[in-house]
Structure 1
Amino acid sequence: MPMGIVLRRMPGVTRWAKWSWKAIAVLPGAGDASWQMLQSDAGVSDYHAATLPLELHGSDAEAYLHGLSTEVPCVYVVLRDSDEGEHPLDVTLVTASPYEAQDYADSSEEIVEKVPMPDGLIAWVRDFAQKHYHEERFKKRRRDKTDIGAVEDGIGDARIAQMADVYRSPVKAKKERLQ
């Protein structure tokens, strides 16, 4: 489903950042847009920054259900700092999977923003997740019956001919023979 990403630009609160950016909304079914201004008031501007596809995968159904079970179900917008001077951020991805969002947040190279899901999108994701979710049966692992304490494997050094001290190093044995 095409998903429009709305970013808000506000004046920065420190002298080091002129502007502060935040993802504030998604527009399900939006058309193509590239940094189209939606509104501007008192130095705060909202932009339809990009339209990206929201892709759902059957293997991620458990993650979608987990995300929907939170108090406020959210989609996650992944942003990167842009090298171009025209736009400060690149909108990289939009996902409904909190697990995938966590993977991007762990890299610390991307900015991951939580955006509340609109009601229609909640229903669409829930229907998809319930259709594709299959609970995995628990399988208890069984241990091998091998007795690992029966053989003293690896004790001592095979290069030592004496049986008196199997833990002695070969260098020490060589010095004793020379004396």
Structure 2
Amino acid sequence: MVQRPSIEVAVVMRRVRQASPWQPWRWELADVVAQEPGFGSEPRLLLREGDDERWLYPGFTVELFRDEAEGYYLNATTPAPAWFVLWRLEDEKPKPEIVTLSYNEAARWLDAQETVEQVPAPAEVIEWMRTFAEEHYVPEPRRRKRPDSFKGLQDRFGNPVTITTEKK
């Protein structure tokens, strides 16, 4: 089995009060933190103050994959590199599913209509990701676009067209 670079993290979700009679509160991503042995393996309540709640969801492994190197490169070169967390709402509680650093992977999740939020990643994680991306990312060579004046002419059916200046 191939050993990939990885780190263990935990996700912190926050319940926030809203001024809406239809939905009095909502869940949002609060933070992604390094996993610690004291976190355990089950979600647990960290804080409850009025309507504000914070829950810790431990036990996520963030692996770096060679075929996602472009996504790590894009994330590392943005002004605000971030963690991306895909989460779903189950029984009125958030359930984080996956944590990644790949910009492309997060974009695919968003295209699939999933709930994806981001929070800033710490400098040491960004440097770890940047080093991996620089080692494995190979930009595709740019292809020169041929000017339209060199393209062959076609009629509306796709057949080649010839132009002459001679009179018929």
Say yes or no: TM over 0.5: yes
For 1:75, which of 75, 83, 96 is the aligned residue? 83
Return the alpha-carbon distance in structure 2 between the equivalents of residues 26 and 106 of structure 1: 23
For 1:130, which of 127, 134, 137 is the aligned residue? 134
Post-superposition Cα deviations, 1:120-176, rounded to whole Å, max 9, x if no partner, equal: 211211121112122333355999x9x9538xxxxxxxxxxxxxxxxxxxxxxxxxx
Secondary structure in 2 matching 1:128: helix
Percent identity over paired residues: 26
Return the letter of the residue paired with 1:51.
G
Q: Deviation at 1:11?
A: 2.0
Cα gap change, 1:53 to 1:135, in 2 (>3 Å): same
Give the equivalent residue in structure 2 for 1:170.
none
Secondary structure in 1 matching 2:63: coil
Return the alpha-carbon distance in structure 2 between the equivalents of residues 37 and 27 of structure 1: 15
- Give 1 or 2 for the bigger CA radius of gyration: 1
Q: TM-score, normalised by structure 1?
A: 0.69
- Count residues with an aligned counterpart: 145
Say whether residues 1:29 and 2:35 are aligned partners. Answer: yes
Stretches (4+) displaced over 6 A:
none
Return the alpha-carbon distance in structure 1 between the equivalents of residues 36 and 128 of structure 2: 16
Task: Kindly indicate whether the alpha-carbon contact (under 8 Å) linking 1:78 and 1:112 is maintained by their aligned counterparts in 2.
Answer: yes
1:82-101 to structure 2, matched below 5 A, reads 82=90, 85=91, 88-101=93-106
Task: Kindly indicate whether the alpha-carbon contact (under 8 Å) linking 2:13 and 2:31 is maintained by their aligned counterparts in 1.
Answer: yes
Unaligned runs of 5+ in 2: 1-6, 162-168
Deviates most, 13-22 or 132-141: 132-141
Deviates most, 49-58 or 29-38: 29-38
Return the letter of the residue paired with 1:94.
V
Task: Kindly indicate whether the alpha-carbon contact (under 8 Å) linking 2:17 and 2:25 is maintained by their aligned counterparts in 1.
Answer: yes
Q: Deviation at 1:89?
A: 2.0
Post-superposition Cα deviations, 1:32-78, rounded to whole Å, max 9, x if no partner, equal: 43321222334312111243111211111121111112221111100
Q: TM-score, normalised by structure 2?
A: 0.73
Give the equivalent residue in structure 1 for 2:111.
106
Give the equivalent residue in structure 1 for 2:4.
none
For 1:61, which of 51, 56, 69 is the aligned residue? 69
Return the alpha-carbon distance in structure 2 between the equivalents of residues 97 and 13 of structure 1: 34
Return the letter of the residue paired with 1:149.
P
Please give the root-mean-square deviation of Cα atoms over the aligned residues, in Å. 2.5
Task: Kindly indicate whether the alpha-carbon contact (under 8 Å) linking 1:30 and 1:51 is maintained by their aligned counterparts in 2.
Answer: no
Give the equivalent residue in structure 2 for 1:149.
160
Return the letter of the residue paired with 2:103.
P
Return the alpha-carbon distance in structure 1 between the equivalents of residues 58 and 45 of structure 2: 11
Return the letter of the residue paired with 1:17.
Q
Q: Deviation at 1:81?
A: 2.0
Secondary structure in 2 matching 1:52: strand
Say whether residues 1:5 and 2:11 are aligned partners. Answer: yes
Return the letter of the residue paired with 1:120.
E
Deviates most, 123-132 or 134-143: 134-143
